[in-house]
A and B are shown apart, each in its own frame.
Chain A
Amino acid sequence: MNKDLKRGGMILGSILLLFFTYSCGTPEQRAINVPEPDSTVANARPTHPAGTGLHFVEIKDMKFQPESLSVKKGDTVMWTNHDIVTHDVTEEKSKAWTSGPLAPGQSWSLVVTKSADYYCSIHLVMKGKLTVQ
């Protein structure tokens, strides 16, 4: 009997502990503990949990794929160069941000705060668009 009571108490305690841990803070607050990806260094790898404001753009066949992307403010976009030549990802209007040269196989990520048209400053006809909803 005492053993059953003890076991029940332990299970209840565990459930309460789990609930308390999970409910501490809003989702935004929890996200604070997630390190933000470095937006200036090539090969930076975002560590957001899967599916949480993370988008991928493939640089392939001399195109940004998808060319146009809608994101929420604060979402992370990661570009990966799958082509056989070096590219970059550069904000078009005022060069507000740039990845710098991305060699084949390299990736770069950016936390998006504003809508922007961007392009590859090496291959001027390659263009893309980010729209913050």
Chain B
Amino acid sequence: MKIKQSIAMLSTFAIVCGALLCMPAIGQTNTKLTDPEIASVAVTANQIDIEYAQIAKKKSTNADVLKFAETMAKDHQSVINQAVALAKKLGVTPKNNATTKSFLAGAVKTKAILNSKKGNVFNKAYIDNEVAYHKAAINEVENVLIPDATNSELKSLLQSALPLFKTHLAHAEMVQKEFK
């Protein structure tokens, strides 16, 4: 029993480290992101959380985890749809950049860890990662993407996404209590 708990704690630690390792690289960027780069970061970050949700929907049987994953998949898809529509309207082509690559590299590691877990060990790892990922995403949107955005409509979309991510974090923390 103790061994199981230790494994769960260790894998959670690995996932949280993975999520945090990929994020600070973004904050450390001294160069200001351009609007096409911000659009790319926004789409990528949302897409990654949809992919985490898809893994949860495949692997979990816990009703609260499944409901949370369903909400993540739908909400982040809505943000992507709006970001893509706005980019099209503004004639902006999302541009890959170091931040996008950092997100993607972190996601590859996290998905591998999630895919290797089962049962409640998976549930805990997934929801712990969601808490860490949303905390980091909120920090990036608030302190990097919104200040860097120059187009007012792009800035406004990011500002609308902020309370959404904060609500996701509160929801994730609520579900997390089940797996303490």
Report which A residues bind B (CB closer than 8 A).
Answer: 61-63, 83-86, 104, 122-126
Contact = CB atoms under 8 A, between A and B. Distances in A.
A9 B103 CA distance: 85
A86 B170 contact: no
Contacts of A62: 163-164, 166-167
A61 B165 CA distance: 10
Contacts of B75: 85
Contacts of A104: 78
Nearest to A124: B171
10 contacts: A62-B163, A84-B78, A84-B79, A84-B157, A104-B78, A123-B71, A123-B167, A125-B170, A125-B174, A126-B167
Interface string B138-176: 000000000000000000010011011011001100100
B160 A83 contact: yes
- The SS class assigned to the A binding surface is loop
B32 interface: no
Contacts of B160: 61, 83-84
B164 A125 contact: no
B87 to A, nearest CB: 15
- The SS class assigned to the B binding surface is helix
A67 to B, nearest CB: 14
Residue of A62, A86, A126 with most chain B CB atoms under a 10 A cut-off: A62
Contacts of A123: 71, 167, 171
B82 interface: yes
A122 B157 CA distance: 21
Contacts of A124: 171, 174
A125 B167 contact: yes
Given A123-B167, A126-B167, A85 B74 contact: yes
Contacts of B157: 84
Q: Which 9 A-B pairs have the closest CB atoms?
A: A62-B167, A61-B163, A62-B163, A125-B170, A85-B75, A85-B78, A84-B160, A123-B167, A122-B71
Contacts of A85: 74-75, 78-79, 164
A85 B160 CA distance: 10
B72 to A, nearest CB: 11
B74 A84 contact: no
A63 B166 CA distance: 11
A104 B164 CA distance: 13
A60 to B, nearest CB: 9
A62 to B, nearest CB: 4
Contacts of B171: 123-125
Contacts of A83: 160, 164
A62 B78 CA distance: 14
Nearest to B172: A125
Contacts of A122: 71, 74
Contacts of A63: 163
